[in-house]
Amino acid sequence: MDSCVHIAALRLARQFFPVGAPSSCEADPDSDDEWVAITVMSIGSIEETLDCEDRYTEAFLAEVPWPCREKLRLAYRFASNEAA
């Protein structure tokens, strides 16, 4: 995957989610598929997090070309769940 696309996706995640966005390269053990997983930590409510996801997705679709989109995955966790 083009590292510029990976960097763009990380930049967008950091732009739209208030807490950092670590990433990792993951592979499907049952096939040769690989993708970059970006996990963001949300400190907002569910509604705020979904709003962030909507804005991220809109910018992501506008900036990242189709062939690369299928190789990127966004996931989020809620910071309040980390303490439990």
Q: What is the CATH number of the domain that holds 15?
A: 3.30.70.1350
Count of structural domains, the chain: 1
Percent helix, strand, coil in the chain, to 5, is 50, 25, 25
One-letter amino acid identity for 57? Answer: T
State the pLDDT at residue 84: 40
The residue segments making up the domain with residue 49 are 3-82
- 29 versus 64: which is more confidently predicted? 64
Q: Give me 38's structure tokens.
A: 């970006």
Report the predicted TM-score, pTM, of the whole model to 2 decimal places.
0.76
State the pLDDT at residue 66: 85
Most confident of 3-12, 26-35, 55-64, 73-82: 55-64
